[in-house]
Chains A and B, each alone.
Chain A
């Protein structure tokens, strides 16, 4: 079974721009969660989607948004980028027999200049 895939792997943007990151979950997994990882704040939960609905949300500003499609693929969008948005963005999927366990993708490394 193919694992979680994320595109692009690396991205460089400038302040004020917006960015869209994509995540394809493991086949059959319907839940997708997003996390931001920075050296200062560590791994922080952004939001979780299940069957195209956002079920849970972390403590991030409204500039961070996401969506999920009918094939369970998910995107997250960050508008009006700030320098502090530079981070590794990780996507995880869960489902099937061990729905509680999240399996992570390789991440998208975003640099905001």
Chain B
């Protein structure tokens, strides 16, 4: 069975601090995708990034960066110089190629950035 674990339930930081959100996944499948989504208070899930299982390159997009390590089954997300607008719930998700249309989500990490 597949599973996604986000061990951090809530994180609180002060603006401009760096913060890393952890994600560990479990699957025996060799071909899969990993995602991060952001859910602001409005409720809509906003897509941030997708990674496939064959691409372990880290990625940086502005203040966001992602570290994918197959050896530890982790896909961590770092926000550099956090801002109040980053406050939201962040979800890590897994999809298995062939298991169409199904995302398996972690429980989410609530990030609060204080001014």
The interface of chain A, by Cβ under 8 A from chain B, is: 31-33, 35, 42-45, 47-50, 55-56, 58, 88, 90, 92, 94, 98, 100-107, 109
Contacts and interface: CB of A to CB of B under 8 A. Distances in A.
B102 A100 contact: no
A106 to B, nearest CB: 5
Interface in B95-109: 95, 97, 99-108
B43 interface: yes
A92 B100 CA distance: 13
B44 A106 contact: yes
B50 interface: yes
A79 B58 CA distance: 46
A88 B41 CA distance: 12
Interface of B: 33, 35, 37, 42-47, 50, 52, 91, 93, 95, 97, 99-108
Given A48-B102, A50-B100, A101 B35 contact: yes
10 contacts: A35-B103, A43-B105, A43-B108, A45-B103, A58-B102, A92-B103, A100-B95, A104-B37, A104-B45, A107-B43
B43 A45 contact: no
A102 B99 CA distance: 14
- The 9 tightest CB contacts between A and B, nearest first, are A48-B101, A104-B45, A43-B105, A33-B101, A106-B44, A45-B102, A107-B43, A55-B100, A56-B101
